[in-house]
Amino acid sequence: MTRPAPTPCGRPGCTGTLMVTGFCDTCHRLPPAASAPATPAPAASGRSAPTSPAAPPTGPASTTSPAAPAPLDRDGLVLLPHIDAPAPGVAASTTARPPSGGRRCGFENCTGTIGVGYDGGPAPDHGFCPECGRPYSFEPRLRPGDTVGGHYRVLGYLAAGGLGWVYLAEDTKVPDHLVVLKGLINTSDAVARRSAVEERRSLTTLHHRDIVRIITYVQHQAPGDDEPTGYIVMEYIAGRSLAWLRHASDAELTGLFGRPFGIDHVITYGCKILGALEYLHEQGLLYCDMKPDNVIHYGRDIKVIDLGAIRRADDRTSGLVYTRDYAPPKRERDQRGFHVDSDLYTVGRTLQALATRAAPASGLAARSFDALIRRATHPEPAARFASAAEMSRQLWEVLREHQALTWHEPYPERSTRFTPTGTLFGAALGTVPDLAHWAAAPDGPRTLPVAAPEPRETARGLPVPIPDPDDPAAVLLGGLAARSPERVAEQVAQDPEFGTVETALWLCRAYANGGGPEEAGRWLETARRLGAGEYDWRVSWHRGLVRLAEGQVRSAEEEFAAVYAALPGEWAPKLALGYCAEHLGADEQRTRDYYEAVWQRDRTQGSAAFGLARVHLRGGDREGAVAVLDGVPTTSRHHDAARVAAVRVLAGRLPYPAGAPGPAEAPGAPGGAGARGAGPAAARLREAAERFAELARTGEGGESRDRLLAELRESALANRPPGGWGPGFPAGEVFGTDDTVPALSRLLSRSLRALADQARDADPSGGGDLRGDLLDRSYAVLPPPRLRLVPAGRRGKRQG
């Protein structure tokens, strides 16, 4: 087997070739950018989510003004500020400060603790292990001025790492080339020895833009040593560790970031860290020791450093290296060791620590971030995120939610967990009443329909989880109509291969939507028996749908809350929770928070828009409701319904809780204490007429336009103040030219006769009772005839 030809360095005057580390074996530098070997890019799902085509532009934007969105980088994350490289004299100290707090002995796997002070005294830098009696020393083996490997001159001490001293050195062969030397604190420590070897082996083959790179490996035997000590030579990352953020003053952070350090910066750090860990996990490695100290912010990027604790994912025998405050609980470590979810636990604790210095997220995004941390650090490992990619995606979604709620700009993005849905629930505001609505005489002025929709309607309108592509039945189920669950159930009984989790969930939804919640519940239990785990969010989602179909909204709320806890970045559970809070009459602010988190991020979500509009109307905020409805874009299939709803909201009467004083929009406006609600002001009525005329010009509405016109005229008549609409009366085609009761009554009567004609046209037999009822109403709204004296020649003729 022939080996590939070595790659030349490419630097002028250098005759070396590139080692497996990517560095030259002669000048020990990376090759020029043009000849640098390609580095595999991390998966988008782990490094960060890709930028949506619909996302806001990532060009220049002010980071100093709270009114401007923060600029984004190529991954759709917040652009980090540039950190200048500190001078070597500032970065490295010439005085060694041994670590304190105690370390594990590790000699022949001894579990004793060394380096602990007694009776309040300082921690000793050398001594004997209290368990095995083995001598130890934390003193550095190198001093400033020492030369290692023939050309690496030590400048000073960077830190006392978890397993050894870290030195800053300069390469005397290459001007201005700084490197990092890492050696062991105590070479008798078996764990440290194993970790050093593992770090050297691992770093040699790892190539990721957010992980520190190794240059080479050298040995150095100091005077008096029995054997040489090995040192890893790494690239020097000139920046600041994230641990600095926890101790910096508010003024320092604001000066660095151009604005107060925010949760969006924390999330950006988290997504980048998770990208690096996902790469390690793909290599079958665990990091084990994530903490703010092990991440360097340099330039506008980050690097994960100190991979001394790295281990194979299947290693269950060697000693663990970790930091207690960031690692899972001791009982878990002792019983199951470290796994991928353990690494994610350390990331969660790291983000939690950084968030203590950050300005909190906006609105519901603060709860979403907290929910993400709770899942990452859940005491039950099975409840945590299963992969770095999954956690990164949810973190990225929380960032989008925070940005939308902060800057009030949409950040739409296709969900990775739920299929898009065009179904609109709770659209009563955007639906013009049918003919039967007009046949019955109203008991007082009509009010706008602002009650929460029925639970079963909502269950049918909520989105469906994306099927598991690895499920054998997923493709077959995609083409079936949900109206035939019995046939699918028969197929399951006949073909065992058709009996999968996705089939059971499909049948659960089909029966729930078809009015069979009991049968839906049985299929949900079947899904659990077929392999849906205890912490599978899909089970909670479907159980919530079944509870809605049964009308048990409070129980449904508990299930949707569990989905929110598992998927804190997704919009679907927030939409469901917003409905539950609204239906149960919970605090309106809570309802508003859920709906707004969905709508602000994606204005095409019609169900959230109508829910938020209902919240505004119940609070007497007509303008707020109209603003939300106007925000539904033309690209949404619910745009027309929102336009109709805006017209109805502007002209309609606002209901409010019994016993509460009615909101008045203008002096003399109908409503007030004891009334059923508040009618519109003349200005709102005028705007409604203008919008209705625009609907007519664009040809929208059809026959429903006549019904909407009847509603507008009825509202103008029923809500007319005792003294009339005044100078603001919107004279025109919709309301006529006279602000009088008789004039408005005649206009309404004309509209009702037009609706009677619709009933006749819809029914070949003449419209039946509905047409007659509409005609009766058209006559009933007219004012009673008035008799007056007339000349004798015309006496007996009715005038009116």
Please state, in angstroms and rounded to a whole number, the distance separating the CA atoms of residues 49 and 349.
Answer: 22
From the CB of residue 89, how many other CB atoms can be counted at a distance below 10 Å?
11
SS3 109: helix
User: What's the rounded Cα separation, in Å, for the pair 777 and 800?
Assistant: 19
Residue that is written with structure tokens 């007509």 in the block: 622
Beta bridge partners of 139: none
Distance, in Å, from the CA atom of 131 to the CA atom of 119, rounded to the nearest integer, reads 19
Task: Show the CA angle centred on residue 707, arms to residues 706 and 710, nearest 5°.
Answer: 90
Contacts of 153-159 with C-beta under 8 Å, sequence gap 24+, read 154/181, 155/88, 155/92, 156/88, 156/89, 156/92, 156/93, 156/94, 157/92, 157/93, 157/94, 157/95, 157/96, 157/97, 158/91, 158/92
The type of residue at 21 is T
Exposed, middle or buried: residue 399 (CB in 10 Å: 0-12, 13-18, 19+)?
Answer: buried
A 10 A CB-CB count for 506 gives: 25
d(CA 354, CA 83): 18
Instruction: Give the C-alpha distances (Å, rounded to integers) separating 431 from 58, 532, 635, 636, 708.
Output: 39, 40, 19, 16, 9
Pairing state between β 126-128 and 135-137: antiparallel
CA distance 402 to 382: 28
Work out the angle between the directed axes of helices 501-513 and 537-549 (0-180°, nearest 10). Answer: 20
Of 182, 208, 298, the residue nearest 244 (C-alpha)? 298
Counting Cα atoms < 13 Å in the Cβ hemisphere of 237 gives 25
Give residue 19's identity as a one-letter amino acid code: M
Note whether 446 and 680 are within 8 A (CB): no
Number of neighbours of residue 722 by Cβ within 10 angstroms: 6
For the chain, how far is it from start to end, CA to CA, in angstroms? Answer: 110
The single-letter code of the amino acid at 99 is P
Q: How far apart are CA 138 and CA 119, in angstroms?
A: 20
Residues near 401 by beta carbon (within 8 Å), at least 6 away in sequence: 361, 364, 365, 368, 411, 569, 597, 601
Give the CA diameter of the chain.
140
Task: Give the pairing type, strands 295-298 and 240-241.
Answer: antiparallel
Q: Phi/psi class of residue 150: alpha, beta or left (left: φ > 0; alpha: ψ in -120 to 50)?
A: left
Pick from 71, 86, 40: nearest CA to 298: 86
With helix as H, strand as E and coil as C, how does 429-468 read?
HHCCCCHHHHHCCCCCCCCCCCCCCCHHHHHHHCCCECCC
Residues assigned a catalytic role = 289
Phi and psi at 166, nearest 5°, equal -120, 120
Q: H-helix or E-strand containing 250?
A: helix 250-257
